[in-house]
Structure 1
Amino acid sequence: MVRVHTLFAQESVIVGDKVRTDVTTDPMAVIYPDNLAALGVCRGLGVKGIPVTILSADRTAPGQYSRYARRVACPAQADEAEFIEFLLRFGQAHQRYAPVLFLTDDNAIVTVHRHREILERWYRFPMASWSVLRRVMLKDHLYRSLDGVVPLPHTRFPEDESELADAVREIGGSILVKPLLRCLTGSSDTSSLPFEQCFGSKAIRVRTLRELTDAYRAACARGFRVVVQEEIEGPISSLYSLGLYATRQGEVAAAFTSQKLGQVPPDFGDGLVVKAVRARELIPLGERVIRHFGYYGMADVEFKWDARAGVYKLLDINPRPWLWINLPTACGVNLSYAAYLDAVGRPIDPGGFVQRDFETRWVSIRGLLIYVIRSLGTGWRCTGLLPVLRQFWGKRVGPLFCTKDLLFRMFLSPMYWWDSFLQASRGIRRLHAAPGAINGRPFLTE
């Protein structure tokens, strides 16, 4: 571990050279892994003067190039023992003011929480314990626990193939196959691909017992356990989200509501266009969920409006920063800062976290490019492209561009461009490989 000790010594010099961080007594925020959500958290904290360190093993990730952050190279998460040892030594090197540790993807949450009891000696966690998180993150626990608490889609939890026929008869119509967790939890192999990279989407739509059986076998072969759920009819615009921060006392101290207007893949994907909207009726539903679990931390609670039943039905909860975490910040609800304040024991003034903007849209140019490439490469119809493009007009923010943080270091880094080229080449090959096909029949149909 000599290399790690040397790294810390070098970084302490770098910190000393930064006027912004050399005299602060604010505990550092440490963000891992580096991704678009990490960049949003970094900017949300940086504008408040909080010193930010991003741990990164990937030179193409954007957060490390922010003017608000310093980068510390870390081991790849796939080597769990080395990665946790690195976190311990980093925490010990900054023990005077225990850093606040922000985790920005599911793999990181699962990996780090296997060692949280040890890591809590050196870090503050702005999120609930694993005993709570597992009930939120694992979909079988999530839906079973919330039955009767909030409206839910009809869901079955098959243990083997013999139960699939009953699921088809009970649910009927269009059925979705979803993983219990998007990353694999039964193995310490954190390099395993998440569900959407294996199958090209966050869920698999099936309509017959044969299709359900094929999808079930394919998921099991990849190591995923699944739930089988009714698909709620309705356009993408029926998808709503409640972003919130809940305190350790179970109070929702900050809340933000939004609506999806486009996503990629177009059926079950990540946000492409997300609009801030006034949907206050989601907040009491979110509060009910938070109190039921005893959860605290940031969360993105996803709903879909079921026009037939006349209710919002809960689809999922992401207990971490998400792709468009900078949209709430742009609209006056800096959830990252609320999480930081609570983690360091400072009061959260509700008046400072009020959504005042209900028009701004979050749009992803990269997502649009992926949408077009997949349309051409996998035979999707492009009829939905023009309506999506119309949603790009108006007041908007994006995941990367920010006038106060132009990421000059990223554009000037040769390693960024070379690694980006290599990753893009691999990504395009995957996109043209028709992901999610079984026996020549694609899962994703329109």
Structure 2
Amino acid sequence: MRAKAVILGCNYYIGLSALRCLGQFGIHTVAVDYSEERAYGALSKYTSERLIAPHYKQDKDAFIAFLKDYGRMQQQPPVLIPCHDSYVEVIDEHLEELRELYLIPQTEPGLYTKAMNKETLHRMAQQHGVNVPETLSPLEDDFLERVESELGYPCIVKPTDSPSFVALFRRKIFKVNNRMELQEALSKVQEAGLEVIVQRIIPGFDDHMYTFDAYLNQDSKVTHWVTCQKYRQFPINFGASVYTGQKYVPELRRIGGDFLERIGWKGFAEIEFKKDARTGAFYLIEVNVRMTNLNELLRQVGINFPYVTYQELTGTPVEPYAVTKDMNRVFWYGYEDMLAIRDYIRTKQLTILQVLRSLLRPKAYAIWSWRDPKPGLAFASMTLSKMWGKLRRR
């Protein structure tokens, strides 16, 4: 009997894509979430089993106990695939005990957290010669004066712990244009008890953002990789991918792959880079340690990362492969891209003609699939209901 794949977090399209990527091979998929409400990903026809677990933050001990109880009931250890940063944090905290019952690629406790934490990530990157944006901590001497002289305005206030920051403020960063705005932003995060860093903004439009997506085997060697170029994000300028294309950039394999191998990474990782519009140098921005928003695009251009993960951990690794040519295909999250397009046009960063031209490319859809329509229909229903509720409140 084949091992099951336990997918954590199915109220977003990352979990949905993981279910599809594995279910199409007949792998028994287990969709786990803390509520049935809005968990549209679990409605996929590729879901074999659906479970409701205690909330991973509100009742962490009960959540871990739930996972361990489920693992003990299985004939073979399931492959554990988290699809949200908060699930990764919990797994990392209990990595050794969960590895007794589940197949998890990472073996070093704390490494997931180091890569997710912006401050420790940047220290690791600098130790290995990887460019990172100039950064200051509010705890440093002469902090305000150094922001003006070393970083300049505008700059960004960035959380060291992104999941907690995003959950509270519904954004990834604060962009500040002067000392007063910086002090206001710092006051907000201090009141919330969160730690932040302040960073120089690397020049360049959103299409200067790139990703290096890779899988590293249990010897910490890159076996599969592909690179992509972002075109639009939401929120604009400092958000998540909503329109991103596969783009072969071999330099990112050297920078990103060497870095991941040197720190002893195992399993999937996605490094986000920004290319300096003035110098052409690539700067490491962050590392996504859970499965990526771009899963469906990457599958369509040749690398099914959830399947690569499953096969290696169950003893039948997939042959190494890299996408080394441009495939002219883009990932599209239509709902948020429409909001992004509105804001790009309002701020005159894009024209209507530029947007229309871009939309002609073949697409890998974030949610919709003709072969698996139920999640897309459920998401459309939820979105329309939300919009109707806003209209009624006006």
Aligned to 1:28: 4
Question: What is the rounded CA distance, in whole Å, between the counterparts of 1:27 and 1:200 in structure 2?
Answer: 37
Correspondence 1:25-424 to 2 at 5 A = 25-34=1-10, 35-56=12-33, 57-70=35-48, 71-77=50-56, 78-94=58-74, 96-147=75-126, 149-159=129-139, 163-184=143-164, 195-196=165-166, 198-351=168-321, 354=323, 358-371=327-340, 375=343, 381=347, 384=350, 386=352, 387-407=354-374, 411=377
User: Could you say what secondary structure the match of 2:163 adopts?
Assistant: coil
Residue 114 of structure 2 aligns with an amino acid whose one-letter code is: R
Q: 1:382 to 1:79 in 2, by over 3 A?
A: farther
Question: What is the rounded CA distance, in whole Å, between the counterparts of 1:337 and 1:357 in structure 2?
Answer: 22
User: Could you say what secondary structure the match of 1:69 adopts?
Assistant: coil
Residue 98 of structure 1 aligns with an amino acid whose one-letter code is: P
User: Could you say what secondary structure the match of 1:30 adopts?
Assistant: strand
Aligned to 1:438: none
User: Could you say what secondary structure the match of 1:176 adopts?
Assistant: strand
Question: What is the rounded CA distance, in whole Å, between the counterparts of 2:167 and 2:85 in structure 1?
Answer: 14
Give the C-alpha shift of residue 308 in structure 1: 2.3
Residue 112 of structure 1 aligns with an amino acid whose one-letter code is: I
Measured against aligned partners, the alpha-carbon deviations of 1:337-380 in whole angstroms (never above 9, x if no partner) come to 111122223233114x645652101111111344368x59xx95
Question: What is the rounded CA distance, in whole Å, between the counterparts of 2:255 and 2:68 in structure 1?
Answer: 38
User: Could you say what secondary structure the match of 1:400 adopts?
Assistant: coil
Question: What is the rounded CA distance, in whole Å, between the counterparts of 2:312 and 2:148 in structure 1?
Answer: 46
Is the contact between residue 237 and residue 259 of structure 1 (CA under 8 Å) also seen in structure 2?
yes
Is the contact between residue 21 and residue 307 of structure 2 (CA under 8 Å) also seen in structure 1?
yes
Residue 328 of structure 2 aligns with an amino acid whose one-letter code is: E
Paired residues, number: 386
Gaps of 5+ in 1: 1-24, 185-194, 433-446
Q: 1:417 to 1:380 in 2, by over 3 A?
A: closer
Question: What is the rounded CA distance, in whole Å, between the counterparts of 2:149 and 2:271 in structure 1?
Answer: 29
User: Could you say what secondary structure the match of 1:216 adopts?
Assistant: helix
Give the C-alpha shift of residue 214 in structure 1: 1.3
Q: 1:418 to 1:282 in 2, by over 3 A?
A: closer
Taking structure 1 as the reference length, what is the TM-score of the superposition? 0.80
Question: What is the rounded CA distance, in whole Å, between the counterparts of 1:277 and 1:390 in structure 2?
Answer: 18
Question: What is the rounded CA distance, in whole Å, between the counterparts of 2:341 and 2:246 in structure 1?
Answer: 25
Give the C-alpha shift of residue 73 in structure 1: 2.2
Give the C-alpha shift of residue 131 in structure 1: 2.1
Q: 1:359 to 1:117 in 2, by over 3 A?
A: same
Is the contact between residue 272 and residue 367 of structure 1 (CA under 8 Å) also seen in structure 2?
yes
Give the C-alpha shift of residue 388 in structure 1: 3.4
Give the C-alpha shift of residue 47 in structure 1: 2.1
Question: What is the rounded CA distance, in whole Å, between the counterparts of 2:346 and 2:159 in structure 1?
Answer: 24
Is the contact between residue 243 and residue 337 of structure 2 (CA under 8 Å) also seen in structure 1?
no
Gaps of 5+ in 2: none
User: Could you say what secondary structure the match of 1:304 adopts?
Assistant: strand
Question: What is the rounded CA distance, in whole Å, between the counterparts of 1:164 and 1:183 in structure 2?
Answer: 26
Is the contact between residue 157 and residue 174 of structure 2 (CA under 8 Å) also seen in structure 1?
yes
Is the contact between residue 248 and residue 325 of structure 2 (CA under 8 Å) also seen in structure 1?
no
Question: What is the rounded CA distance, in whole Å, between the counterparts of 1:230 and 1:27 in structure 2?
Answer: 46
Question: What is the rounded CA distance, in whole Å, between the counterparts of 1:152 and 1:358 in structure 2?
Answer: 29
Give the C-alpha shift of residue 182 in structure 1: 0.9
Measured against aligned partners, the alpha-carbon deviations of 1:240-297 in whole angstroms (never above 9, x if no partner) come to 1111111121111110111011111111011121011111111011112112211111
Question: What is the rounded CA distance, in whole Å, between the counterparts of 2:311 and 2:380 in structure 1?
Answer: 36
Between the aligned residues of both structures, percent identity stands at: 25
Q: 1:303 to 1:406 in 2, by over 3 A?
A: same
Question: CA RMSD for the aligned pairs?
Answer: 2.7
